[in-house]
Amino acid sequence: MAIGITQIDLNNSKSGFYYNDTQMMIDKYLLGDHSLETINALIKELIDDELPFFAEEEFPYTELSRCNYTVISESTLKKLQQNKMLPSLLKYSSDMYVNFKYENNEFIHPEGEKNYLHSNMPCMVYFQNNRVTFFILDEDGDAYFSYSLNYEDLK
């Protein structure tokens, strides 16, 4: 289940400004560099600098950035939706990235290491122009976030 859905506006930080490294990655992305290297660097900067403004204090941020993110497959998105891990209204996009593999209804380390959930938290990140939406997933459903989105937010 998605324990948190948080949307970040790359043009408007919740704190009022982005740190230099984060702003540099945002600028690079907004100027058209959508390489996997830039996407991963930007995701990690946003996790470190922006997500703390949305989650409870004890939220384990580092567990979101221990694995690199890759483009989600359409079949994985459908499986996650069928298992009610992601909203069914989401349409597949190659601008959706995950830090896991999903096989046999389980989150698996993308590089095959054992015990993925012991030190990682599954997450899908959806880039839409200047908005980045984090879908924090958890098999147990413990809620750390309290912000909801509606269909219009995801168009």
Condensed to tens digits (0 to 9), the pLDDT of residues 38-80 reads 999 999 999 988 888 877 667 777 788 889 999 999 999 999 9
Q: What are phi and psi of 61, to 5 degrees?
A: -55, -40
Give whichever of 66-70, 95-99, 120-124 has the largest mean pLDDT.
95-99
pTM of the model: 0.86
User: Does 141 have pLDDT greater than 70?
Assistant: no
Report DSSP state, residue 98: E
Name residue, tokens 């996650």. 80
The pLDDT value given to residue 47: 92
Helix (H) or strand (E) holding 119: helix 116-119
Cβ–Cβ under 8 Å, residues 72 and 96: yes
Number of neighbours of residue 118 by Cβ within 10 angstroms: 9
Helix pair angle (20-30, 36-49), 10° resolution = 140
Q: Which CA distances in Å does 102 have to 17, 123, 137?
A: 35, 11, 12
The pLDDT value given to residue 54: 79
The pair of three-digit structure tokens given for residue 139, joined into one six-digit string: 């098999």
The pLDDT value given to residue 57: 66
Please give the residue that has the higher pLDDT: either 134 or 139.
134
